[in-house]
Structure 1
Amino acid sequence: MQVRQGIPEGEIARGCYLALGNFDGVHRGHQQLIGNIVQKARTEGKLAVVITFSPHPVQVLGDNPPGLLTTRAMKEKLIAALGVDFLFILPFTRELAQLPPETFVQDILWPHFQPRLVAVGFNFTFGHRGAGTPALLHRLGEELGFKVEVMAPVTYKGLTVSSTAIRNALDRGDILLARKLLGYWPVLAGTVVGGDRRGRELGFPTANLAVPPEIKLPGWGVYACLARFQGQVHRAVVNIGRRPTFGPALPATIEAHLLDFEGNLYGQELELELRAYLRPERKFASIRELVAQLQEDCARARELPLNPETGRRNHTQGHGVKYTAENPEIYHGQIGAGKNEGIDYCPRQETPAGLSPGTN
């Protein structure tokens, strides 16, 4: 996949099949929408193109924007995995936000892309104050010569798959639900920075992860995860919070203890693939009590399978994480796996007149 900043030059993207949206998290609804575009483009021998925006509009227009589910690099990786040919990232500015929706289509979308088909989500809006709707896009498409396809809601056990629903699940520490909605395990990615070395003094050295400030963090607590760096994978325990045992109102940190690892990670890029919520963060009465709890946390994290060859576990050891048919693993790099695990791709509301719902 080629990634381009801004609108294309020349005719490189003209006649494409195009998915338009913010695609925060590239969750299962986004995967279905983009996947449909890729399939149609392949059938017709055309390019599959995605247009998205950076920064996210809520970061420019919102007073208290919600955290983003992926870094830009991870979003690009997830979209590329769906088979897209070109990803165009349009700079989102207040000037762009002021454009009437008709101007956006007539001056940007049509002259530079001339798509055969534009696919959007059921709740997609664009243009000044979100005045552009799928119905308006359809009308403009009829005037200019492109078709519009609206992706119906994707649901999981009656819950509409959305970035908001995923953020709510993360707030509660519901990692399994977040995975079901995303189609992959939630990931925190960033750079390892220096810390106060308290973990090393206790016998549990930690990697302190600095993530971009706009990224959504899960609810504070202790999680089992898989840590990935330079092709290596290690089970890990990560604490997200203020470490109340060591004092009141300390700065919030993300500290990961990698099991069976010795080395210096400072300055390296690290991914923490969250697999299970273990317990809330709490203040311990003594260091001895804290160490005993950390030992138990590590024992539970050891039950995580490192790769597909380890198979699924349908038992627990002590308070270990349980792996069953209700808690399947989706491994790094695989998205959209397990589509039949309660995921419903059927339309849940009427499509505006003249629009075609996304095919399944």
Structure 2
Amino acid sequence: MSVLFDKQIIALGFFDCVHMAHRKILETARQAALSMGVKSAAITFTGNIKTMPVVYDYDERVKLLSELCDNLISFEFSDDFKSMSAENFLMLLINKYNAVGFVCGYDYTFGKNAAGNSAFLSAFAKEHNFFCSIEVPLYCDGEPVSSTKIKHLLSEGNIVAANKLLVKPYHITQRVVHGRGQGHLFGCPTINFLPKNNVLLPKYGVYSTMSDINGKLYCSVTNIGNKPTFGDDVVSIETFVDGFSGSVYDSNVTIIFKDRLREIKKFDNASQLKQQIFEDIRRSKLCCE
């Protein structure tokens, strides 16, 4: 098996949403790599290794992780991979990816049937004379920072609390698609996304957001859910951007979430909805200051 990588300290994990505890793991790997004169790396997976939806898909995880380490090692969570023993997984990282050390969280598990854990990793590293660091829990408001906690907060619509735990504020980056055009009809055109399969969305509702369009930030309001005023039950992500009037169809736009403003409401007519959108924008500007 040929080695294609420089020597590396590898951060182990799934890194579902790249939160503050993940950053601690990655920073430990980076500092250890610097002291040893080697590279730092993180592993991630092209698919979802868990049954629950992820916070960020593979492409977004790659962007976030790339800012925190030198290299990324991507695996497909295939049947062959799932059947690999914990020891064989570590030997793969050593023999193919030139690992000279490992960093993981206290609750990390790996290998077939999750047989490997932090104690197994420590013993393996000691036996092979490799660097190893097991990171203790990182607490915020008395609770350990975890992907599970962040998912729970998002499912409740608690963006402010979730953003305290994330390395970067919760955001959605997607290609803009054509909507039904109702916003154009009453003077409030919107940017539309379709939800991605197996990617978690915050609780349905209306949110204060910032929209990054071609590198420029605009105050905005985002509706996640249906559109009962128009009898539209299809779940979508629809954003009204204050002060922007251009076309962004088929372009990538990032929506950065600041706070939840209200529940979705059915209005008697489009004029009432328009008035509410302007009120939502007024409140959103306060959140974005």
TM-score of the pair, normalised by structure 2: 0.94
1:121-172: CA deviations, max 9, x gaps? Answer: 1111111111111111222223333232111111111121111111111111
Q: Classify 1:11/1:302 alpha carbon distance in 2 versus 1 (closer, same or farther; 3 Å).
A: closer
Read off the aligned partner of 1:127 and give its amino acid letter. G
Deviation at 1:224, TM superposition (A): 1.0
Residue pair 2:3, 2:97 contacting (<8 A) in 1 also: no
1:145-203: CA deviations, max 9, x gaps? Answer: 32321111111111211111111111111111111011321001111111111111121
Deviation at 1:104, TM superposition (A): 1.8
Residue 292 of structure 1 pairs with residue 275 of structure 2: yes
Q: Classify 1:9/1:75 alpha carbon distance in 2 versus 1 (closer, same or farther; 3 Å).
A: farther
> Counting strand residues as a fraction of each chain, which structure ranks higher?
2
Q: Secondary structure at the match of 1:140?
A: helix
Residue pair 1:209, 1:270 contacting (<8 A) in 2 also: no
Residue pair 2:94, 2:100 contacting (<8 A) in 1 also: no
Residue pair 1:155, 1:161 contacting (<8 A) in 2 also: yes
Residue pair 1:223, 1:237 contacting (<8 A) in 2 also: yes
Q: Secondary structure at the match of 2:59?
A: helix
Residue pair 2:47, 2:76 contacting (<8 A) in 1 also: yes
Residue pair 2:3, 2:95 contacting (<8 A) in 1 also: no
Q: Deviation above 6 Å: which 4+ runs of structure 1?
A: none
Cα RMSD between the aligned structures?
A: 1.8
Residue 96 of structure 1 pairs with residue 96 of structure 2: no
What percent identity do the matched residue pairs reach? 29
Deviation at 1:211, TM superposition (A): 4.5
Between the two proteins, the alignment pairs up a number of residues equal to 289
User: What does 1:272-351 align with in structure 2 at a 5 Å threshold?
Assistant: 272-305=255-288
> Counting helix residues as a fraction of each chain, which structure ranks higher?
2
Which residue does the alignment assign to 1:232? 216
TM-score of the pair, normalised by structure 1: 0.76
Q: Classify 1:9/1:191 alpha carbon distance in 2 versus 1 (closer, same or farther; 3 Å).
A: farther
Q: Classify 1:85/1:287 alpha carbon distance in 2 versus 1 (closer, same or farther; 3 Å).
A: closer
Which residue does the alignment assign to 2:246? 263
Read off the aligned partner of 2:277 and give its amino acid letter. L
Q: Classify 1:247/1:219 alpha carbon distance in 2 versus 1 (closer, same or farther; 3 Å).
A: same
The unaligned stretches of length 5 or more in structure 2 are: none
CA distance in 2 between partners of 1:114 and 1:221 (Å)? 47
CA distance in 1 between partners of 2:262 and 2:223 (Å)? 10
User: What does 1:74-153 align with in structure 2 at a 5 Å threshold?
Assistant: 74-82=60-68, 84-106=69-91, 108-153=92-137
Q: Secondary structure at the match of 2:109?
A: coil
Moved more, 278-287 or 165-174: 278-287
Residue 155 of structure 1 pairs with residue 134 of structure 2: no
